[in-house]
Amino acid sequence: MDVLIAIIYIVLFIIMMIFVFSIGMLKQYMPSKKEVLLVIIVGFLIGCIGGALFLDPIYDELPNVVSVIEKSMPNNEETLYLDLSSSIDVNKLKENLSGTEGFKSFNEYAISIPMWDFNDKERAYFEDIVGNIDYHYKDYNITPTGTIEIALEENYSSSDALKSFSDWYKLVFGETISYAQVHATLVVDSASLDTFEQNLLERGIVASKIEGPIQDTVNNTNSSMLSNGEFTLVCGGIGLVVAVMGIYIDSVVPAYRRFRKFLRDKRKR
C-alpha cells in the first residue's frame, strides 16, 4: 500500500471520529438516557465500520512494513530452501544467481528419487544397497511411499549424484530414472531478497521455505497480530470512547480548568 493512500485512510478514520465526537456533544439536546445510549452504540458501529474500511488494510500491511525495516539492517542474511526438478540445469541456475548482487552461497545438499511403493523385501534391499552406490552419499532414507532421499557431501553436485544412481539403476533394472528432485539452499543478503525471489519466479521456482531475520520478524509479527475481526472490534472500542468523550466533554473541561486553577493557587502559596 502506498504511503499516500495510508495517510488518506487514517485521515478519513479521524474525520469519522470527529463526527462521532460531535454527535456526543449534542447530549444537552437529548431528552433521555436512551438517546445517550444510542449515541454510544452509533459511536461503536462507526468505529467498527471505519476500522474495517480504512484501518484494517493498513494493519494487514504491518508485517510488510516490519520486513522493510529489517531489510535495511546491515549484514542480515536469508536462506532460501529450493526444491528443483532434475530437468533444470542447476549449474546454469547457480551461475545466474551468483552473478546477482547480494549472492552469498548456493549449495546442493540432497536429492529425492520417487520410485514405487516398496514391499518389505524391496525396501530392505534398497536400504542395504543405496549406501554402496556412491561414497559421496553422506546419508540416505527410504520413505514409506517409496521415495529415496539421499543427502550429499559438501561440494558434491546433484548431477553427479543422480548420474551415479541412474547408471546403477539401469545396470540392475535395465530402466532409466524419469524424475528426481534436487534440494538446494540459497543464501543471500536480506536487502536483496526481493530481487532473488523475482529472479527465481521468472524461472518458475518458488522457495519452499525461507529462514532468516526477515522471515523471523514477519512470523513473530503475524503471530502477535489480532485477527481482522478482533482489530475491527478494537476500532469500535475507539469509536465508543470518542463518543463518551463527546458526551461528557462539558463536564470534563470545567473540571480540568478548576484543577489547573487549583494548581496555580497552590504554587502562589
Any domain includes 160: yes
In this prediction, residue 122 carries a pLDDT of 82
| 22 conformational bin, left if phi > 0, alpha if psi -120 to 50, beta if neither | alpha
Cβ(208)–Cβ(81) below 8 Å = yes
Distance CA 84, CA 263 (A): 74
In this prediction, residue 238 carries a pLDDT of 93
Distance CA 75, CA 190 (A): 8
Which amino acid is located at 4 in the chain?
L
Query: Are 83 and 205 contained in the same domain?
Result: yes
Query: Are 105 and 229 contained in the same domain?
Result: no
Query: Are 81 and 163 contained in the same domain?
Result: yes
The structure's pTM equals 0.67
Residue 80 pairs in a beta bridge with 186, 210
Any domain includes 147: yes
Per-residue pLDDT of the chain (269 residues; tens, 9 = 90+): 677 888 999 999 999 999 988 888 877 676 667 778 888 899 999 999 999 999 998 898 888 887 777 777 777 888 999 999 888 888 888 888 888 888 989 988 898 988 888 788 888 888 888 888 888 888 888 887 888 888 988 888 888 888 888 888 888 888 888 788 899 999 998 888 888 989 889 888 888 888 888 877 888 888 888 888 999 999 999 999 998 888 887 666 565 566 666 566 656 55
Distance CA 111, CA 86 (A): 9
Query: Are 81 and 192 contained in the same domain?
Result: yes
33-50 helix and 228-247 helix, angle to the nearest 10 degrees = 140
Distance CA 24, CA 43 (A): 9
Any domain includes 105: yes
The sign of the dihedral angle between the CA atoms of 185, 188, 193, 199 is negative
User: Residue 17 in 3-state DSSP?
Assistant: helix
Last residue of a domain, one of 183, 211, 239: 211
Any domain includes 98: yes
Last residue of a domain, one of 211, 240, 255: 211
Distance CA 125, CA 121 (A): 6
- Whose CA is closest to 163, among 133, 204, 185, 196? 133
Give the residue numbers spanning the domain of 116: 77-211
Query: Are 11 and 111 contained in the same domain?
Result: no
Could you tell me the three cell numbers for 229? 475481526
Total domains in the fold of the chain: 2
Residues recorded for the chain: 269
Query: Are 104 and 186 contained in the same domain?
Result: yes
Query: Are 91 and 174 contained in the same domain?
Result: yes
Any domain includes 149: yes
Which amino acid is located at 91 in the chain?
N
In this prediction, residue 216 carries a pLDDT of 79
Query: Are 85 and 203 contained in the same domain?
Result: yes
Number of helical H runs and strand E runs in the chain: 11, 6
Any domain includes 72: no
Q: How far apart are the first and last CA of the chain?
A: 57
In this prediction, residue 62 carries a pLDDT of 84
Any domain includes 71: no
Query: Are 112 and 182 contained in the same domain?
Result: yes
Query: Are 81 and 202 contained in the same domain?
Result: yes
Query: Are 110 and 193 contained in the same domain?
Result: yes
Mode of pairing for the β-strands spanning 209-211 and 103-114? unpaired
Query: Are 194 and 92 contained in the same domain?
Result: yes
CA atoms within 13 A on the CB side of 209: 6
Distance CA 73, CA 228 (A): 30
Any domain includes 216: no
